[in-house]
């Protein structure tokens, strides 16, 4: 079943067209990788899905309900979309516990027990009182995952989440994501410029260039048969 449907979406910033005539469909519980060089519009695409950016035209449907069309705009907090940012964007003035509390509060969930449960699940119990600047890269990553877990989003958007992690943390992050998919039954859109992050994780890959999709398909197929030289170069071929 198609869970996320994007139809003919366009977005310009001033004269620069960031996204042109883009259409995309993602199945429920699927992980889709969006691959492309920086400036190709992939972050804008994520922000449009999240509602952080309003497109110029097109239509976006999540789980059967329209969140953006000519007449509709559902604000971000009502879309139940989760996002993991590059460097994780943890709030510097909040402790780990407060991060999770802040998210749960938005869902009006009674906090204390749930916080402890999430902290335990991600081995963050001993760090509950720590601020982001006191955490290591791996710990920050786990807090970012905990934040998503607390939100229990329908769709999870990832914006270059592993680009500043070392190889071991990248591996761990992949495992955590797969686990998250199982626990939350969430649909994932993973944006990156590094194809290695998508291998063994993404079910499908969509390749973007200059605001357009130039190839899409199952991960293995795209990897084995890049449609042109540009796509091949993204796979280091």
Partner 1 sequence: MSLRFHADLRLLLKILTLFLFIVVAIVPLLCILSSDFSLELIPTFLDERLLFIFLRTILLGVSTVAMSLLIGVPLAFLLEYTVLPFRSFLEKVYILPLLIPPYISAIAWLEFLGKKGDITNLNLPLDIYNLPSAIVILSLSFFPIVTLLTSFALKNIDSRLEDAARLLYPQKEVIRRITLPLIMPHIIISSVFVFVFSISELGVPALLMVNVFTPEIFAQFSAFFDTSKAVTLSLPLIILIFIIILLNRSFLGGKSFITISSFSKRKKSIELSRTQSLVALSFASLILVLSVGIPISVLLIESRLQFSIALSEAYTPLLNTIKMASMGATLMVAIGFFLAYFYRSRFDPIILFPIAIPSMMAGIGLIKFFNIEFLSFIYNSFLIVIVGYATRFLPFVTKTLHPFFEQIHPSIEESALLSGASFWRILHRILFPLMKPGIISAWIVGFILSVHELSTTILVSPAGLQTLPIRIYSLMHYGAPEMVSSLSLILIAVIIAPVILFLLIKKSLFRAVTA
Query: Which residues sit at the interface with partner 1, rule CB under 8 A?
Result: 13, 47, 50-52, 75-77, 79, 81-83, 85-86, 89, 91-93, 102-103, 106, 133, 147, 151
Distances (CA, A) of 165 to 191, 196, 224: 15, 13, 26
Alpha helices in 53-166 (DSSP H): 96-106, 111-121, 137-151
Smallest distance from the beta carbon of 94 to partner 1, in angstroms? 9
Distances (CA, A) of 23 to 84, 89, 109, 157, 230: 23, 29, 36, 17, 20
Give the C-alpha separation, 16 to 39, whole Å. Answer: 11
For partner 1, give the closer residue by CB, 110 or 167: 110
For partner 1, give the closer residue by CB, 85 or 230: 85
Smallest distance from the beta carbon of 223 to partner 1, in angstroms? 30
For partner 1, give the closer residue by CB, 52 or 121: 52
Angle at 121 (CA atoms; ends 30, 62), nearest 5 degrees: 30
For partner 1, give the closer residue by CB, 95 or 230: 95
Smallest distance from the beta carbon of 158 to partner 1, in angstroms? 13
Smallest distance from the beta carbon of 49 to partner 1, in angstroms? 11
Give the C-alpha separation, 151 to 211, whole Å. Answer: 30
Smallest distance from the beta carbon of 233 to partner 1, in angstroms? 25
For partner 1, give the closer residue by CB, 147 or 181: 147
Query: Which strands make up the sheet holding 187-192, listed edge to edge?
Result: 81-84, 155-159, 187-192, 31-35, 204-209, 212-218
Give the C-alpha separation, 226 to 204, whole Å. Answer: 13
Q: Six-digit token pair at 5?
A: 């449907």
CA 119 distance to own-chain centroid = 21
Query: Which strands make up the sheet holding 65-68, listed edge to edge?
Result: 16-27, 2-13, 57-62, 65-68
């Amino acid at each position: 079943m198609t869970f996320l449907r994007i139809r003919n979406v366009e977005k310009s910033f001033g004269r620069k067209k960031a996204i042109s005539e883009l259409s995309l469909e993602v199945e429920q519980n699927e992980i889709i990788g969006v691959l492309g060089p920086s400036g190709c519009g992939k972050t804008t695409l994520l922000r449009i899905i999240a509602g952080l950016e309003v497109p110029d035209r097109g239509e976006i449907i999540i789980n059967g309900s329209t969140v953006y069309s000519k007449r509709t705009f559902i604000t971000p907090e009502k879309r139940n979309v989760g996002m993991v940012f590059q460097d994780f964007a943890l709030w510097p003035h909040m402790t780990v516990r407060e991060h999770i509390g802040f998210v749960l509060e938005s869902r009006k969930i009674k906090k204390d027990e749930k916080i402890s449960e999430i902290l335990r699940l991600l081995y963050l119990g001993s760090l509950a009182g720590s601020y982001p600047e006191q955490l290591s890269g791996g710990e920050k990553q786990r807090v970012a995952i905990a934040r998503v877990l607390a939100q229990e989003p329908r769709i999870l958007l990832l914006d270059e989440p592993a680009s500043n992690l070392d190889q071991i943390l990248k591996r761990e992050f992949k495992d955590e994501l797969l686990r998250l998919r199982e626990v939350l039954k969430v649909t994932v859109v993973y944006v990156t410029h590094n194809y290695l992050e998508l291998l063994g994780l993404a079910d499908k890959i969509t390749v973007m260039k200059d605001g357009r999709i130039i190839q899409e398909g199952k991960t293995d197929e795209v990897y084995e048969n890049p449609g042109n030289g540009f796509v091949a170069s993204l796979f280091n071929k």
